[in-house]
């Protein structure tokens, strides 16, 4: 079942996706809900993109390593937003996103842009 | 980051999705490719559905437990097909799908049908 | 590009997914945000499940027609919640979800439950 | 239900995802299956990434326009591979992927890389 080359990276991506799902749901229960709007939005995008990245790497997609560039970007954005809030789920999500962003950074390949 | 009630189930679902992604990619490298068509198809559906199930449970969706009924069904189908083949990736995928199906069975809620 | 047997149904599913994505984003901009929490949650689940259903049908998955049972269920739940609100995006989403639920109902196959 | 600014682009992305799903399933039925392996793999990645792009744009994600850069890349790769084959589903998929790549190119924003 293993993709040994990328095992730790794939786990970091799935952990990040789960942290973002949990953070979004928890934000929706908070009293200061109007403060949490950007957090909810970024959590959703980050969960979607990290999940997709994990699956591309696991199937050894030709575009997997390029995809990590986007993944790093959304993880940094989500970490920055979560880092503004004191809720425990935000604090944990910020840490997990930052770790995931670092893992993506270490493994990504450049995208051709013109 | 935890959804403590369902942590083991969510991990079983994600493990199953990763096993299916790996099995599908590996099947596409096999020489007896024409024998692997149903396995490739079921791997894809099972990876998609298990990933979605994990995310629904993690966000505590109202439909998460009902979704497990579908998830069990596709896991059983995929396990049965993988079980027909001697490739190591198929054998591992069959075991993982069967374990995931059992976990889904233990936690699912009925769906209203008419 | 067509899957002629299910073309209208697939379009209904994708229209519903888009309506739910739009409704969730719009709800997050509303002033009465605390009233919109259940709507945002159901929109997300409904968008995910309808998108997955469309893709399963398009690839002629063995589980596609059974998946419609779940899809109908989440569409009915989302339509009922959206129907409680006067926002234009909620009103449109309720109509689209209801149409999609009817389309799913007309094409679904039963799921074995024990 | 509309996201008026991006309506045509979102439709192009969903059309491309459907073309890729259909092409992958059809390739798996072909007699010259060993020739179709790369096509099946790229179809899958392209369907996943285009679907995700459509949803990010529809929800007006901050990362939607950057995501189009990846989407263009996978569409070009998929179009090039499909263009090598005479099957009608490959020919149609190549055209649809090329059109989608052009639409992505026209709307994308650069990604910061270091």
Q: What is the ipTM of this complex?
A: 0.94
Chain D residues close to B34, C-beta within 8 Å:
33
Q: How far apart are CA B89 and CA B94, in angstroms?
A: 9
Looking at residue D3, its pLDDT comes to 56
Does domain C4-107 fall under CATH 1.20.1270.360? My reply is yes
Those residues of chain C that have pLDDT short of 70 are 1-5, 113-114
The answer to whether the Cβ–Cβ distance between D62 and A56 falls below 8 Å is no
Those residues of chain A that have pLDDT short of 50 are 1-2
Looking at residue C111, its pLDDT comes to 84
> For the CA atoms of C46, C48, C51, C57, what is the dihedral angle to 10 degrees?
-90
Domain ranges of chain D: 4-107
Please, are residues A51 and A14 in contact by the beta-carbon 8 Å criterion? Answer: yes
Looking at residue A111, its pLDDT comes to 84
The answer to whether the Cβ–Cβ distance between D1 and C14 falls below 8 Å is no
Looking at residue C1, its pLDDT comes to 44
What residue has token string 């682009």?
D9
Span C84-99, pLDDT tens digits: 999 999 999 999 999 9
Looking at residue D1, its pLDDT comes to 44
Structure tokens at B112: 């209203």
Mean pLDDT of D58-85: 97
Own/partner pairs, C4-12, CB within 8 angstroms, 24+ separation: C6/C57, C6/C58, C6/C107, C8/C103, C9/C57, C9/C103, C9/C104, C9/C107, C10/C54, C10/C57, C10/C58, C10/D18, C12/C99, C12/C100, C12/C103
Span B3-31, pLDDT tens digits: 566 999 999 999 999 999 999 999 999 99
Sequence-distant (6+) residues with CB within 8 A of A4 are: none
What residue has token string 């129907």?
C83
D68 pLDDT band, cuts 50/70/90, is: very high
Looking at residue B74, its pLDDT comes to 98
Chain B, nearest residue to A19 by Cα: B1
Whether chain C has a CB inside 8 Å of the CB on B41: the answer is yes
Structure tokens at C37: 């929490």
The answer to whether the Cβ–Cβ distance between C63 and B77 falls below 8 Å is yes
Structure tokens at D75: 């569409």
């Amino acid at each position: 079942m293993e993709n040994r080359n990328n095992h730790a990276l794939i786990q970091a991506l799935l952990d990040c996706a789960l942290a973002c799902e949990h953070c979004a749901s928890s934000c929706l229960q908070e009293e200061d809900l109007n403060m949490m709007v950007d957090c909810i939005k970024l959590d959703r995008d980050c969960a979607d993109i990290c999940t997709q990245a994990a699956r591309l790497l696991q199937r050894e997609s030709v575009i997997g390593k390029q995809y990590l560039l986007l993944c790093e970007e959304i993880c940094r954005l989500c970490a920055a937003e979560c880092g503004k809030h004191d809720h425990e789920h935000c604090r944990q999500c910020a840490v997990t996103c930052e770790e995931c962003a670092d893992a993506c950074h270490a493994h990504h390949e450049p995208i051709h842009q013109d």
